[in-house]
Amino acid sequence: MRVLIQRVTKASVKVEGKTIGAITNGLLLLVGITHSDTEKDVKWLAKKILNLRIFEDDEGKMNRSLLDVGGSILSVSQFTLYGDARKGNRPGFGQAAPPEEAQKTYAMFVDSLKQTGKVIVETGKFAAYMQVELINDGPVTLLLESPPVD
C-alpha cells in the first residue's frame, strides 16, 4: 500500500458535482493498493497514520498525533499512486491491484481507521471520477508505504 498523507485545514471530495465527503483540521489520505497488500499492511498503516506526530504542539514542534488533536480523516482511493512512468510517456498501472481486490483492501483500511471510535473518517467513492479540494496546512505532505521493514 501507498498512502500520500497531507495535513489539511480543510478538504472535500465531489462526485458528479456533489460533495460526498468533507473535513476540517485533519488528514487527507490518498490511498493506493497493490497486489501483495495484506491485512498486516492495512493495520500497520492505519495505526501509523493515527499515531503519526505531524501536528504542532504549543511550542510549534511536530509532536502531536491526529488522535491528540481530535482531527478528522478524508480517505480517497487512488490507483494512480502505483502508476509507473519510467518508460514512455504514458504511465502503466500493472502494479495497482485489480478493482475488486483493491476495493476489499481499501474498505478494510477505512474500517481500521474507524476502529478507535475517536476519529471521524469521510471517504470518496471507490472507482469514481472525483474532484478533490484541499488546503494543505504547513504544507505537510508525507508518503508512507508498506510493507514495513521488519
Residues classed as catalytic: 80
State the amino acid at position 132 in one-letter form. Answer: V
The CA-based angle 116-101-12, given to 5 degrees, is: 55
For residues 147 and 117, give the distance between their C-alpha atoms in angstroms, rounded to a whole number: 25
Residue 66 CA to its chain's centroid (Å): 13
For residue 40, give the nearest of 150, 121, 115 by alpha carbon.
Answer: 150
